Chains A and B, each alone.
Chain A
Amino acid sequence: GESVGLHLPTLSVQEGDNSIINCAYSNSASDYFIWYKQESGKGPQFIIDIRSNMDKRQGQRVTVLLNKTVKHLSLQIAATQPGDSAVYFCAENISGGFKTIFGAGTRLFVKA
């Protein structure tokens, strides 16, 4: 079936360390995989996406890795800052465009 899940519901890291948030997916037909950040009381905010024909994509302080063999997606945040504290959602965009399946989210705590 279609599902997007997360290995850890919460992640606590020290300021300045790197963070890795993991996600598993089950639908092989997904075209895109997306990471969103949601701060308390706000709507989700797009971070980065990766197309299914890629295995790595880098942005500003973030890197997304896609392993289609094991259906695993990860978001790496370099030099984690207090402003990175939020809930992070992975999502997959099913072929056709309009159906985006969201995972339940991982809450990232950054300790000063």
Chain B
Amino acid sequence: NAGVTQTPKFRVLKTGQSMTLLCAQDMNHEYMYWYRQDPGMGLRLIHYSVGEGTTAKGEVPDGYNVSRLKKQNFLLGLESAAPSQTSVYFCASSLKRVNTEAFFGQGTRLTVV
């Protein structure tokens, strides 16, 4: 049982490049989330999904897009990366609507130069 798996673990992008972060969970959870974590700050919600085919904006959605074509996968896209998007990105999933017990992936460290 792998839980929540994120790929890649590390990536360096040039300003203006695009990329997609992949999150996969094998717990049959309905709810999935993308967060970013910056130094000295807590996690901030980028986008979330309440089920296959649905997505919604979180606190800091600008510059990101997401898709949930399959229940087990939640993709985070950066169409034109900016240095301000340098961060550690975490994907999470939860069984309950009130996501107190969310399961997190290992994170993706993204640097935009």
Real complex partners, A and B?
yes
Is chain B's interface secondary structure helix, strand, loop, or mixed overall?
loop
Cα of A19 to Cα of B101 in the assembled complex, Å: 22
CB distance from B15 to the nearest CB of A (A): 26
Given A43-B4, A46-B102, is A100 in contact with B107 using a C-beta cutoff of 8 Å? Answer: no
Task: Using C-beta atoms within 8 Å of the partner chain, give the interface range for chain A.
Answer: 20 to 34
Does A99 lie at the interface of the complex (its beta carbon under 8 Å from any beta carbon of B)? yes
Q: How many residues of B contact A (CB 8 A)?
A: 27
A43 and B45 contact, Cβ closer than 8 Å, known pairs A32-B98, A93-B99: no
Among A45, A46, A103, max chain B CB count under 10 A is at A46
- A102 pairs with B44, CB closer than 8 A: yes
Q: Mark A36-54, 1 if CB is under 8 A from B, else 0.
A: 0000011111100100000
Contact indicator A98/B44 (Cβ below 8 Å): no
Residues of A within 8 A of B (CB): 4, 31-32, 34, 41-46, 49, 89, 91, 93, 97-105
